[in-house]
Structure 1
Amino acid sequence: MSHDSPLQDLDLAAGFLEPPPRRDTYAGWQRWRAGRGHFAPAPRLTLGQWRALSPRERSLYDLHRTATHVNLPLQETPMSLKVSRLVNRRIRNNALKTRPSTRAGVMVTGWGYQGKTETVCEVAAAFEDAWLAMHHHLHPQPTPGTRDVHAPVAYAQTPVTAKPKSTCQAILGFFGAETKRLTLPELIRQLAASLDDHGTKALILDDITRLRMHRADDQDTLDLIRAFMSMNVTLILVGVDILGSGLLRQGHFDEHTRQWVLPPSQHARVHGLEATQTERRFDLVELDRFRYTTPGQITAFHDHLAGLEANLRLLKAPPGMLTGGRMPEYLMRRTDGVVGLLERLIEDGCQEAMDSGKETLDEDLLDDVVLSLDDPERDALAGEVPAIPGSSRTRTTAAPRPACARGRGRNTVFDDHGPRGQAHG
C-alpha cells in the first residue's frame, strides 16, 4: 500500500473480523461494554479515489465498507428515548437505596426486531460505566476472604424451554458458577449469594415471553423470577408482547402509581427468600415501531433515515438517497416501521448495490432484496421474529402457498403469530 494512499490505516480495521462477544457471560459482557461504539467505519472515498486504488486496496476497502453497513450505530429514536429514561431512572434509583426493601422492576415490551435488547443493554452498560467510575472500579462492599469480580449488571436469556432450574443455571452461567448436581433450593441460594457477592445492581432477563403460562414449569419459573426481586437487584424483563403473553394475568394495574402489581411469590416462601409477603411492582414500557401518520412521526422517521444515510459508504449515493422523493414511504411500506427490518433491508441493499456496481439504493434495487430473518437463536413462536411486509413487486408475484398434508394438525391455540401489517397514511 503506497504511503500516500487514503487507506494507510486500513489494516487497523482487522478488528471487525473478530467474533462478537456473548453478553450472557461476565467476560463477554465486559468485552462488549468496553468496546461498544469503538467500531471505526470505512473512510469516505469518491468514485475516482476508489478507482485509483490497487486491486488489493479495493478488496480491503470493500470489505471495510461491508463491515460498516452491517455495524450501523444504534440511533436514538423517540420510542427508544422513552424506554432509556425509564430503565435508567429505575436502575439508578434502586442502586442508591439502602433499605432492604423490594426493588420495583421494569418490563420492556414490543415486537421482534424493534431494538428492545440493544436499548436496554446500552442503558445498563452506561450505568455500569458510571457506577464503576464512581467506585474507582472496586467493589464498594467486598466479601471478606474472596476475590469476587465486581459485576454491577448481569445479563441472561430465558431458556427456550424454561424451568426454574434451567433459569437459575442460565443466570449463574453469567458468573461462570458451577451448577451441576445442585438441587433447586441450592441453586436459588447460590444465585442469591452470587448476586450479592458480585455487587449486582441490575439483572436483565431477555426473551422473557418464551415462558408459556399454560405450562406448569413456566408458571413456577415466573414465580421464581418474581422472588429475585428480594435479592436487592433491579429486575429488567425484556420480551415480545408482554401484555398479551399472560405474564401479567395474576397482576393488576395500579392507577395511582402507574405500575403493574403482582402478588408475592409462592416459590420464595418455599425456599426462604422473602422476609415479608411484599407485592412485586413493575413499570411496563413499550418500545414501539415507527409510525407515519402525524407530522411529528413523519419527521422522526425522516431523521432516522438521514442518520442511516450518513453512515453508508456507497460510491454513487446522491444526497437524500433515503429521504428524498417517495423513498421514505417505500421504506415504511417494506418494513412497517420496524427498526431491525429497516436496517436489514438497508444492509442487504448496500451489499447488492456494491456487488452489482450500482453503488446506490433505489426502489428497483431494493425490490430485488428479499428479507429473510432465519435465526436459530430466536423463537418464532414467541413473536421474536416479526411478520415481513412484501415489496410492491413481491406482493404481485408471490408464489402460491403449498397445500398442507392431510392429517391432524398441531394445536395452535397458544401460538403468537406476531404483529400484522397495517396500512400507513
Structure 2
Amino acid sequence: MSLENNTPSFLPGPPVDRTTWEGWQRWCQTRKDFIPAPVLSAEEFDRKSRRQKRIHNLYRLATHSSLPIEATPMSERVAHAVLARVEEGAFSHKAGTRGGIMVNGDGAQGKTETVCEAMAVFMEEWLNLHNYMNPDAMAGTRDLVAPVAYVRCPVKATPISTCQRILDFYGEVYKGMRLEDLIRTVKTAIIEHATKALVIDDITRLKLHREADQDVLDLIREMMSMPVALVLVGVGIPASGLLREGRRDPRTGEWIYPPIKDRSRSPNDHAASQHERRFQVVDMDPFRYSTAEEMEAWVTHLRGLEGHMRLLTDTKGMLTGGDMPEYLFHRTGGIVGILEKLVQRGLRIAIEDGSERLTKELLGHITVTPGDMPDLDAEAGEQPNIPPHNPAPKKKPRGRNTVFDDDGPQAAGSAG
C-alpha cells in the first residue's frame, strides 16, 4: 500500500453514477483499478506499528467491501447472450428493427453487474474499432459518442419518468415536454450519440395499470423501432405484463408463450406478441445444489471468493472445507448477493474479534436482512428470498474492541 500526501491509496474517490454518460464512462475506465490489500501473515502484521496496523485493517475493510463480481456459469451464459444480441444489431447493415433481450431473475442474483460488464466490453471494442469517433456524425450534432446508455427505472416508474431518465443520461433538456415529445427526443438522442445498446434496468418497476398499460407498451414498441438493441433487466419479467404469461421449457431453458386465442379482449395483445417475437428472454438463476456438477460449481465459486479474503490466517479451504459449502448454501439459497453480504460481515467480525477466521459458529451470529440491500425495491419484488435464520446468542465481549482505533497525529509519523 502506498501513501501520497498522507492519504491512503485505498480511499474511494467521488461516487460513480452509471446513469449519466460521464459516470458510465468513468466506471468503465476505472472498474478494475482497485488494488486489494496485500496478503500478510500474523507475524508480518505484528511487526507493524499500531498506526500501521490500523491502516492495514482499514485497507482490508475496503478490500472486503469491494469484492469483485465472480463469474458464475449462470452469469457467463447471460453475458454471452446479451453480448451476442447487441453485436448482432450493432454490426448489422440492415435498416430494420434490432432484436432485444430481457434479463430476468430474482433480486441479488448479479443481473445488473453481469449486464454492465458485458456492455463495458462491447463499448471498449466498438470505440476501439472506430478510433473513438462517431462514424455516422452529422453536421450540427453533438460530438458525444455513447455506444451504450444505461438507465434505471425510478421507483413507481411511468413512461414519462422513464424517458426523462434516458435523456438525463445524455444531459438533454426536456422541461415541459409531453410523452410523445419525450419519445421523439429520446429517438433523436440515440441516433445522434451513436448509441447501439440501451440498457433499462429495473424495467419491472413499470407497472401495467389499466390506465397506463397502453402507454407502457407504446413506449417499448417505439423504442423497438429505434436503431438500438434494447437490454431490459428486471424481476419477474414473464409475469409482469410486459409479455404474456409464459412457461419455461425445462429442456432448452427458453420461455414459451401460448398463442393468443382472443385478440378482441385487449388492444395490447398484438403489441405484446410483437415484443415476444423480438425479445429473447434469458434467466439469471441462483446456484443449485442437487447434482455433483452443481455442487462443484458452487464450491468453485466459494474457492474464488476465498482468494479475495484478506485475513491473517490461510484462507484456503475456509469456505470450501468440510461441510462449509453445504452450510453456506443453506444460509444463502445459492444467491450470490446474500452470500456476499454474509461473508463481508463475517470478515469484519473475524478481524474485530482477532480470530481471523470464518467459521460456522461465527457466521451463526449473523443475520442478513433486506436492510442490507437498500438499493432493491421491495414493492417491485426486487428483494430476494433470504433463508430464515435464528442467530445464536453472542458472547459478551471482554472489553471495547480497539482494532480500528487511531493513535492520533503523534503516531502518524511511524506509518510507512
Q: Which band: TM-score by shorter chain?
A: 0.7 to 0.9
Partner residue, 2:310: 313
Partner residue, 1:244: 239
Q: Do 1:260 and 1:283's aligned partners in 2 also have CA atoms closer than 8 Å?
A: no
Query: What does 1:148-163 align with in structure 2 at a 5 Å threshold?
Result: 148-163=143-158
Partner residue, 1:340: 337
Distance 2:275 2:75 in 1: 31
Partner residue, 2:68: 73
Unaligned runs of 5+ in 2: 261-266, 269-273, 394-416
Distance 1:9 1:63 in 2: 13
Q: Do 1:163 and 1:218's aligned partners in 2 also have CA atoms closer than 8 Å?
A: no
1:349 aligned to 330, 334, 346, which one?
346
Cα drift, residue 250 of structure 1:
7.9
Q: Do 2:144 and 2:193's aligned partners in 1 also have CA atoms closer than 8 Å?
A: yes
What is the aligned-residue identity percentage?
A: 46
Is residue 387 of structure 1 aligned with residue 385 of structure 2? yes
Partner residue, 1:62: 57
Query: What does 1:267-278 align with in structure 2 at a 5 Å threshold?
Result: none
1:302 aligned to 278, 295, 299, which one?
299
Q: 1:190 to 1:250 in 2, by over 3 A?
A: farther
Distance 2:73 2:53 in 1: 38
Q: Do 1:211 and 1:218's aligned partners in 2 also have CA atoms closer than 8 Å?
A: no
Q: Deviations over 1:95-152 (max 9, x none)?
A: 0112111111000011000000000000001000000000011111112123330000
1:20 aligned to 15, 33, 37, which one?
15
Q: Do 2:328 and 2:339's aligned partners in 1 also have CA atoms closer than 8 Å?
A: yes
Question: Which protein has greater RCO, CA pairs closer than 8 Å, 6+ apart?
Answer: 2
Is residue 88 of structure 1 aligned with residue 83 of structure 2? yes
SS in 1 for 2:9: helix
Q: 1:67 to 1:219 in 2, by over 3 A?
A: farther
Is residue 124 of structure 1 aligned with residue 122 of structure 2? no
2:203 aligned to 202, 205, 208, which one?
208
Cα drift, residue 185 of structure 1:
1.8
Unaligned runs of 5+ in 1: 1-6, 268-276, 396-425
Is residue 365 of structure 1 aligned with residue 362 of structure 2? yes
Partner residue, 1:231: 226
- The letter of the residue matching 1:41 is P
Distance 2:50 2:221 in 1: 59
Q: Do 2:248 and 2:255's aligned partners in 1 also have CA atoms closer than 8 Å?
A: yes
Distance 2:141 2:162 in 1: 26
Q: Do 1:333 and 1:391's aligned partners in 2 also have CA atoms closer than 8 Å?
A: no
Q: Do 1:156 and 1:170's aligned partners in 2 also have CA atoms closer than 8 Å?
A: yes
Q: 1:348 to 1:19 in 2, by over 3 A?
A: farther
Q: 1:222 to 1:206 in 2, by over 3 A?
A: farther
Cα drift, residue 9 of structure 1:
5.5
Q: Do 1:317 and 1:361's aligned partners in 2 also have CA atoms closer than 8 Å?
A: no
SS in 1 for 2:222: helix
Distance 2:287 2:83 in 1: 22
SS in 2 for 1:369: coil
Q: Do 1:226 and 1:280's aligned partners in 2 also have CA atoms closer than 8 Å?
A: no
Distance 1:143 1:19 in 2: 34
Partner residue, 1:378: 376
Q: Deviations over 1:154-179 (max 9, x none)?
A: 01111222222111101111001111
Q: Deviations over 1:302-324 (max 9, x none)?
A: 00000000010011245300000
Partner residue, 2:409: none
SS in 1 for 2:230: strand
Partner residue, 2:408: none
Partner residue, 2:288: 291
Instruction: State how many pairs are aligned.
Output: 380
Distance 2:144 2:242 in 1: 33
SS in 2 for 1:154: strand
1:107 aligned to 102, 106, 111, which one?
102
Q: Do 2:104 and 2:284's aligned partners in 1 also have CA atoms closer than 8 Å?
A: yes
- The letter of the residue matching 2:234 is G
SS in 2 for 1:90: helix
Q: 1:243 to 1:35 in 2, by over 3 A?
A: same
Q: Do 1:168 and 1:188's aligned partners in 2 also have CA atoms closer than 8 Å?
A: yes
